[in-house]
Chains A and B, each alone.
Chain A
Amino acid sequence: MNPPEVTPNVPVFALFLGLSLVVLSILLAWNVRKLQKTAADYYLAGRRIGVLQNASAVSGDYLSAASFLGIAGLTFFLGFEGLYYAFGFCLGFGVVLLFIAGPLRKFGQYTIPDFVGGRFHTKTGRAVAVGCVLVISLFYTAPQMLGSAKILQILANLPYPVGVALVAGSITIYVVLGGMRGATMTQIIQFWVLWSAIFLVALLAWGGGMGYGTLLTEVGSMPPEVAEGTSPVSSLSPAYLHPGNQYSLFEALSLVVALICGTAGLPHILVRFYTNPDRSRARWSVVLVLALIGAFYIMAPYIGLTMRYLFVSTSAGSAGGVEGLSSQVMGWLAFDGQNLAIPAAAMRFGGQLVLGLVVAGALAAVLSTTAGLLVVMSGALGHDLYYSLFNPEAPERTRVRVARLSTIIMGLVVLFLGLSVEQMQIAVLVGLAFAVSASTLFPVLVTGLWWRGMTGSGAIAGMLTGLGSSLFLIFAKNLLPDILQLENPGGISVVLSFTAIFLVSKVDKKIPADVDRFMALVHGTFEERRVRAAGELKARSVFAGLRKR
Chain B
Amino acid sequence: MTDRLRRNTTPSHSRNRYGTWKLSSDDKAAARQEPSEEQRMIDDWLNNSEEDVRHLMRRQWRLSVTIALLIYGTTIGVIVLSFLLPEVMGRAVWHGFSPSFLFAAVLIYPFTLIAAVVYTLISNRLDGLD
Contacts and interface: CB of A to CB of B under 8 A. Distances in A.
Contacts of B50: 516, 520
B50 to A, nearest CB: 6
A13 interface: no
B86 A244 contact: yes
Contacts of A525: 56, 127-129
A411 interface: no
Interface stretch (B11-19, B21-29, B40-48): B40-48
Nearest to A106: B127
A4 B5 CA distance: 66
B76 A256 contact: yes
Contact of A102 (B38, B68, B71, B123): B123
Contacts of A523: 53, 56-57, 60
Given A287-B120, A523-B53, A528-B129, A98 B67 contact: yes
A22 interface: no
A211 B98 CA distance: 15
Interface in A72-127: 80, 83-84, 86-87, 90-91, 93-95, 97-99, 102
Contacts of B106: 212, 298
B105 A527 contact: no
Contact of B96 (A97, A214, A286, A519): A214
A215 interface: yes
Majority-rule SS of A interface residues: helix
Given A213-B97, A537-B37, A537-B38, A524 B72 contact: no
Contacts of B60: 523
A220 B96 contact: yes
Interface in A30-61: none
Nearest to B56: A523
Nearest to A525: B127
Interface in A335-370: none
A279 B92 contact: no
A526 B51 CA distance: 13
Contacts of B117: 287
A243 B79 contact: yes
Given A217-B92, A217-B96, A280-B130, A244 B83 contact: yes
A298 B68 CA distance: 21
A27 interface: no
A290 B115 CA distance: 11
Interface in B95-120: 95-98, 100-101, 104-106, 108-110, 112-113, 115-117, 119-120
Contacts of B49: 520, 524, 526
Nearest 10 interchain pairs by C-beta: A213-B95, A294-B109, A217-B96, A216-B96, A213-B96, A98-B64, A280-B129, A83-B104, A249-B83, A520-B1
Interface of A: 80, 83-84, 86-87, 90-91, 93-95, 97-99, 102, 212-217, 220, 241-244, 249, 252-253, 256, 260, 278-280, 283-284, 286-287, 290-291, 294-295, 297-298, 301-302, 450, 516-517, 519-521, 523-530, 532-534, 537
8 contacts: A83-B101, A90-B112, A216-B101, A242-B82, A294-B110, A294-B113, A295-B109, A520-B1
Given A216-B92, A525-B56, A526-B42, 19 more contacts: A91-B75, A91-B112, A94-B67, A95-B68, A98-B68, A102-B127, A215-B96, A217-B96, A241-B98, A242-B98, A249-B83, A253-B76, A294-B113, A516-B50, A520-B1, A526-B45, A530-B38, A530-B42, A533-B41
